[in-house]
């Protein structure tokens, strides 16, 4: 549940015209329900096939997240450093 709360907190602070706003959330014992801003116009994939401007807006939104140092590998992570470092193996 800690990771879900972190994800919700990060989503709440994103304010960009090409990223859906988090309106709220609630949960029961089994699930977390996230309420997002209404996205008019139906399925994004079908719209992307018809109009490439949505692809450009998506890239713009992702660039915004990158500038905020938010990377998504399943769960969102906010990093203060420009690069992430992982050490594998035994330390000498």
- The pLDDT tens digits for 9-55 are 888 899 998 888 999 999 999 999 999 999 888 777 887 788 788 78
Tell me the pLDDT band of 72, cut-offs 50, 70 and 90.
Answer: low
User: Taking the model in full, what pTM does it have?
Assistant: 0.51
6's CB contacts (< 8 A; 6+ apart) are 75, 76
Whether residue 59 has pLDDT greater than 80? yes
Whether residue 64 has pLDDT greater than 70? yes
Sequence ranges of the binding site for ATP: 37-39, 72
Q: How far apart are CA 86 and CA 38, in angstroms?
A: 38
Q: How far apart are CA 92 and CA 89, in angstroms?
A: 9
Sequence ranges of the binding site: 37-39, 72
Please, are residues 12 and 25 in contact by the beta-carbon 8 Å criterion? no
Tell me the pLDDT band of 71, cut-offs 50, 70 and 90.
Answer: low
Q: How far apart are CA 74 and CA 52, in angstroms?
A: 26
At residue 28, the pLDDT reads: 92
Whether residue 82 has pLDDT greater than 90? no
The structure tokens listed for 39 are 């996205």
Beta strand residue intervals within 1-92, DSSP E: 22-27, 32-36, 70-72, 76-78
What is the set of domains in the chain, with CATH numbers?
2-78 (3.30.200)
At residue 22, the pLDDT reads: 94
């Amino acid at each position: 549940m800690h990771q879900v709360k972190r994800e919700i907190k990060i989503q709440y602070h994103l304010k960009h015209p090409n990223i859906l706003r988090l309106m709220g959330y609630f949960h029961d014992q089994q699930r977390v329900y996230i309420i997002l801003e209404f996205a008019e116009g139906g399925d994004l994939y079908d719209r992307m096939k018809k109009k490439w401007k949505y692809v450009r807006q998506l890239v713009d939104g992702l660039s915004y997240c990158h500038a905020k140092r938010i990377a998504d590998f399943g769960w969102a992570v906010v990093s203060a450093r420009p690069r992430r470092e992982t050490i594998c193996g035994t330390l000498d």
